[in-house]
Structure 1
Amino acid sequence: GDHRTAAGRVWEGASKSMSSIPQPLLKIGYNVLFTIGFALTWPYLTYLIWRRQPFWERLGERLGHYPPDLKEWLKDPRRPIWIHAVSVGEMLLARVLVRELRALRPNLRILLTTGTPTGRRMGEPLLDPQTRMVYAPTDFYYSMLRAFRRIRPTALILVENEIWPNMLWRAEKMGVKVFLVNSRLSRRNRRLFRIARSFVRPVLQLFDWIGVQSPEDMRRFAMAGFPEEHLHLMGSMKYDVAALASDHPGKGLEVRQAAGWDQGQVLFLGGSTHPGEEKILAELVRALRGKHPELRLMLVPRHVERTSSILAELRGTGLRVMRRSDLESQGGSDPEIVLVDTTGELRDLYPTADLVFIGKTMSGTGGQNFLEAARYGRAIVAGPHMENFMSLRREFEETKGIRVAGSAEELERVVGELLANREEREELGRRAKACFQEHLGAGRRCAEVLIGEIAKSERSSARD
């Protein structure tokens, strides 16, 4: 214990001496380190992005250079608010936020920024005469300077945990208030913030308002060094995301009919499964089919490129497997398993399932978001690994809206119970739906606060 205490004292002393680093020195240090880090990772980043889409296509936007039509739009005296949503998940949250902001103030001008091509695609439905979207500037001093001078935002809203020092310093210099919405902090991130507290703390103080998801997050944010007086408990906007309108409402029923599963079969859906889980679920179905011949399994793997390896794995089970893409041509044949080898359909398939397993909870770690299954009142079962969704898990376990199994054997027992007792299965789904509906509204609460704060900023800039 002594050596740890001594190490702690040394670290504490170092921290105290570092906390007196003048801000100009902190800024120079960050910019030098960021430039070196960027230069070292640049080839790898370029390769990653090039694989998905030509990176060069909009390189100018990432450096704060915008196309003529956007420059023209930004010349309007009604200055926009700037919402930054780095990728798909954050952009879905931004869609909720924009909808709620618009409901309260229809003529609000909004500029969205994102960091990925998929984030950009997810934001496209929001575009209209009052809403524009570009790639976010890279956190170089020059890029941020150009972007802020061009955009002149009345407020900067960052979705989830986006912390870019040059962006925050530039906002402070221009008197732009910074809001962090739908924020959560994992234990690991909290530890990282505490270790680098002397460097990070001055940056964290630059947030004017932080909307956090749970009381546990409030505690972690305060311990990590965020200003306590700026922390506000708002709940999770992920519930509102799950309540967004479905793109193809009747799709699930069509798929079920195409498989020939409309004759009283009970559908067990494995959503966003990870390696190893498909085999576990298939073995479970094989074991339970003697007692429950009506049981059918639909597998929706998280990564569709695993299709052929999953098919190879399932051959040994003796169950008949059909690909989702073959259903229309040779459907109606009532296979035991349908393997979904298409993308983007999971959300539309939930409403037709009788029982849902949440992927990445048995053989992965971290878990997956299960709110869309809860929205439709499905009976939800999961494995023990739900580290990334602990607050959600707690909320649903408290209301008995989810069954969590500690092992594959226990999962088989739980599923067997729910198949044997239809009333209990439906009640589990009803409780999940009630819990889901009770937690809706974080998006509206955030929007109300933001509209009030934006109006204040506009009044003070009008006085200036």
Structure 2
Amino acid sequence: MKSAVTRILYTLALYLVIPLELIRLYWRGRVSPDYRLRWSERFAINLPEVQKGGIWIHTASVGEFFAALPVIHALLEKHPENTLTVTTMTPTGSEQVRAELGDRVYHIYVPFDLPDAVARFLNHVQPQKLLIMETELWPNLISSANNRGAEIILMNARLSDRSAKGYQYVSSQTRSILRNVSIIAAQHQDDADRFIALGANPSSIRVTGNIKYDLNIQQGMVETGKKLREKFNSELVWIAASTHRGEDEQVIEAHRLVREQYPTAQLILVPRHPERFNEVAAICKNLKVSFSRRSLEQAPDQAVYIGDTMGELLLLFAVADIAFVGGS
């Protein structure tokens, strides 16, 4: 009963928040116009035709998509007869799905977690299995998919202590969601223990490790990385990848300290969100740091090389000796 009331309150609040979310998307569209496109998909309206059934994989954005890519390739190979639907939440994630998989999968945005939007989506796709990367616990989506008989699996599931404490405030709702999940493939035992403490069925838990380590790096990419490295002017190159707002200044200051001991050291700076590419270039300019930009095909011969392209993060990692990942 308490869970049902919580779900109703959550849904009512979500309907009130959606207009603000649309305003946020429109605002982000100032820098990245794709945020202003395909809104009908977010409400599951006028979706492209698809063969019903098969497997649905939800990856929120770029990082989750690349982590799930080995699984997606394996499913395409083992179940070529099944429709494979891949959803994302962001334009950058969508761009990578199309670049990596093309028309081998059915790709659209995941619907907002509104009962009517979720129902339209499930009526249209009718998945037999739903694989969710990490911890996207959308109450209406998971409940509706379960009620329609779809097997639900959380892949690469993680749950920090801080997040677990947040879910405890809606413990009945969280327990109801987790009990609808058939398998929770947790990254670590600590994650598994937190899921169980929140009400997950212990028999649904599997500790599988982090599947990001299963990513298959093609030899051609390694060789391309070596060739790109030859264009750098330093024996020491390090990368700060997926940086968030507020981190870039700290990274650049750290790079100044590195160059006190290694004067020719070079930094590859890769913002997490493409709409921040120009912002990071402006930060370098304001801090009077010499830089070049990959998107402009400029030579990597300055103190900072901004990796402002899409789909090349692994290549840039191949160039570097040391890596820092933003938000970590």
TM-score range, shorter chain: 0.7 to 0.9
Letter paired with 1:53:
P
> Residue in 1 aligned with 2:274?
none
What SS does the aligned partner of 2:230 have? Answer: helix
Deviation of 1:123 after TM superposition, in Å, equals: 0.7
Deviation of 1:115 after TM superposition, in Å, equals: 1.2
Supply the distance in 1 between the matched residues of 2:21 and 2:120 (Cα, whole angstroms): 23
Supply the distance in 2 between the matched residues of 1:302 and 1:250 (Cα, whole angstroms): 21
Supply the distance in 2 between the matched residues of 1:49 and 1:224 (Cα, whole angstroms): 37
1:170 is the counterpart of 2:137:
no
Structure-to-structure mapping, 1:77-88, within 5 angstroms:
79-88=53-62
1:349 is the counterpart of 2:316:
yes
Supply the distance in 2 between the matched residues of 1:325 and 1:93 (Cα, whole angstroms): 24
Highest relative contact order (Cα 8 Å, sep 6+), 1 or 2?
2
8 A Cα contact 2:270 2:306, kept in partner: no
8 A Cα contact 1:211 1:231, kept in partner: yes
> Residue in 1 aligned with 2:39?
59
1:269 is the counterpart of 2:242:
no
> Residue in 2 aligned with 1:127?
102
Supply the distance in 2 between the matched residues of 1:347 and 1:32 (Cα, whole angstroms): 42
Deviation of 1:250 after TM superposition, in Å, equals: 4.1
Deviations 1:416-438 (A, max 9, x none): xxxxxxxxxxxxxxxxxxxxxxx
Supply the distance in 2 between the matched residues of 1:266 and 1:22 (Cα, whole angstroms): 59
1:300 is the counterpart of 2:265:
no
1:21 is the counterpart of 2:2:
yes
User: How many residue pairs get matched?
Assistant: 314
| Structure 2, unaligned runs of 5 or more | 272-276
| Inter-CA distance 64–313: structure 2 relative to 1 (3 Å threshold) | closer
What SS does the aligned partner of 1:276 have? Answer: helix
1:223 is the counterpart of 2:189:
no
Supply the distance in 2 between the matched residues of 1:46 and 1:232 (Cα, whole angstroms): 40
Structure-to-structure mapping, 1:423-438, within 5 angstroms:
none
TM-score (norm 1): 0.61
Structure-to-structure mapping, 1:174-323, within 5 angstroms:
174-241=148-215, 243-245=216-218, 248-259=221-232, 261=233, 266-272=235-241, 274-288=248-262, 296-303=264-271, 304=277, 305-313=279-287, 321=290, 323=292
Supply the distance in 2 between the matched residues of 1:195 and 1:26 (Cα, whole angstroms): 11
Equivalent residue in structure 2 for 1:47, among 27, 32, 35: 27
8 A Cα contact 1:268 1:357, kept in partner: no
1:109 is the counterpart of 2:83:
yes
> Residue in 2 aligned with 1:144?
118
| Structure 1, unaligned runs of 5 or more | 1-19, 290-295, 316-320, 361-365, 368-464
Larger Rg: 1
Q: CA RMSD in A?
A: 2.9
Deviation of 1:186 after TM superposition, in Å, equals: 1.0
Percent identity, please: 23
Supply the distance in 2 between the matched residues of 1:217 and 1:340 (Cα, whole angstroms): 37
1:74 is the counterpart of 2:41:
no
Deviation of 1:37 after TM superposition, in Å, equals: 2.5
Deviations 1:371-427 (A, max 9, x none): xxxxxxxxxxxxxxxxxxxxxxxxxxxxxxxxxxxxxxxxxxxxxxxxxxxxxxxxx
8 A Cα contact 1:258 1:328, kept in partner: no
| Inter-CA distance 207–47: structure 2 relative to 1 (3 Å threshold) | same
Supply the distance in 2 between the matched residues of 1:348 and 1:281 (Cα, whole angstroms): 21
Letter paired with 1:298:
Q
> Residue in 2 aligned with 1:34?
14
What SS does the aligned partner of 2:163 have? Answer: helix
1:340 is the counterpart of 2:305:
yes
Letter paired with 2:42:
R
1:93 is the counterpart of 2:67:
yes
TM-score (norm 2): 0.83
Higher helix share: 1
Supply the distance in 1 between the matched residues of 2:298 and 2:36 (Cα, whole angstroms): 41
